[in-house]
Amino acid sequence: MFFTGNTDRSILHLDLDTFFVSVERLRNSRLIGKPVIIGGLSDRSVVSSCSYEARKFGVSSAMPVRMARIMCPDAIIIRGDMEAYSNYSNMVTDIIAEKSPLYEKSSIDEHYVDITGMDRFYGCYKWSHELRQNIIKETGLPISIGLSINKTVSKIATGEAKPNGEIEVGKEKVLPFLDPLSIVKIPMIGQKTYHVLRSMGISTIYTLRNIPAEMLEKLMGKNGIEVWKRANGIDSTPVISYSEQKSIGTEHTFEKDTTDVARLNQILVSMVEKIAYDLRKQEKLASCVTVKIRYSNFDTHTLQKRIPYTSFDHVITDIAKELFAKLYQRRMLIRLIGVRLSHLVRGVQQLDMFDDTPEKVSLYMAMDRIRRRFGKDAVRRAAGVMTSSEREEKEIKRLEYAANEQKMMEERLRGYMMYGFGH
């Protein structure tokens, strides 16, 4: 088995260092040099981010705050401010967008830029260095960069450049750069895969890439091939334009146009619930909500609002209801209602754990487990569920519609027979 990859690309990876902590230090300089933990304030909350000073004590993301307190008693624990983090993230994105030919926002604190061909005019590394310096100057945030032939190698390079550094890995240096590193440095290798490989005596990327790809495929399925390719510095994944990243949404067209605001809000809640679940399932966050309505005369209106990154339906629902209330001013019959989430980035919802409501987080996790097992509609919020009388009314309308369709077909058939088309 033989694989090749495009080695003529120049892909830049940018990663804001301890992003949440860095934002808090901009707002309060007394936090500089001290162990800082970002998360909820209760013992049952989890660590969302922590400074390098806290990491020296063994503190890490997703660790219970109670445990972090024991490991680092002098740590300063701060409730996160997602709105502030979103604003700084967008500030960095705006700087990159102004300078870059093609960029992808892969998470709240990470970007990829495809600068292939720029070396003909300016020099890729010089351009990357100046972009990094510009971000530091404009935002005050520390940021590390890695420049290489593809996303995988540039991301690994950024990890080696931290904190607040920069590394270029040319195509002839890719394998010498990767070989001595731990297999855990490969982005797609999680804890489970890591332990499987370590149990086989595989600890470095050099050892991993010298294992036959077929063997890894038998062991890990299709993922085995992908792991082998990345260990060999092969990754053809394109940089996806931020503006082209997929949104997620749904629409509902009514069988009979309506002005029933209570019912409209009910359907809106139900739609938000479903797309927010899809968002969490894809491990993505959204920062823009759009609501759409179409009147009976086919006039269509939309309204959108930027929000702090989230995937929680109770947050999105409030925004969607707010937008709908602003949109629906004419009190005409509504034919269609829709909701869409956009400006998507990769990330799991540890971000709202700042709220000090572990019960709420646990509830979401439990609801999603039930949905994964029994289907999307297995568990619903009361606000988005039809009453028995509403379900009965809907079923009656469905049966009436089917009966009318049958009657029309019969009349049409009789007409055909009358004019001789049936022979």
Catalytic residue positions, numbered: 110
Q: Report the relative pairing of strands 36-39 and 76-78 from DSSP bridges.
A: parallel
**CA count, 13 A, side-chain hemisphere, 127:** 21
Cα–Cα distance measured from residue 286 to residue 307, given in angstroms and rounded to the nearest whole number:
8
CB 103 within 8 A of CB 62: no
What tokens does 229 get?
Answer: 């390719």
Cα–Cα distance measured from residue 154 to residue 313, given in angstroms and rounded to the nearest whole number:
35
**392: number of Cβ within 10 Å:** 11
**CA count, 13 A, side-chain hemisphere, 377:** 4
Cα–Cα distances in Å, from 23 out to 28, 48, 88, 142, 382? 9, 14, 8, 10, 38
Q: Report the relative pairing of strands 76-78 and 166-168 from DSSP bridges.
A: unpaired
User: What contacts 136, CB < 8 A, 6 or more positions away?
Assistant: 142, 143
What is the SS3 assignment for 91? Answer: helix
Task: Give the H/E segment covering residue 11.
Answer: strand 11-16
CB 291 within 8 A of CB 268: yes
Cα–Cα distance measured from residue 83 to residue 241, given in angstroms and rounded to the nearest whole number:
24
- Measured N-to-C along each axis, helices 261-281 and 313-327 cross at an angle, to the nearest 10 degrees, of 140
What helix, strand, coil percent values describe the chain, rounded to 5? 50, 20, 30
Helix H segments across 28-80?
Answer: 52-55, 65-71
What tokens does 421 get?
Answer: 């088309």
Cα–Cα distance measured from residue 128 to residue 13, given in angstroms and rounded to the nearest whole number:
9
- Measured N-to-C along each axis, helices 261-281 and 358-374 cross at an angle, to the nearest 10 degrees, of 80
Measure CA 386 to chain center: 30
Cα–Cα distances in Å, from 249 out to 239, 305, 342? 23, 15, 8
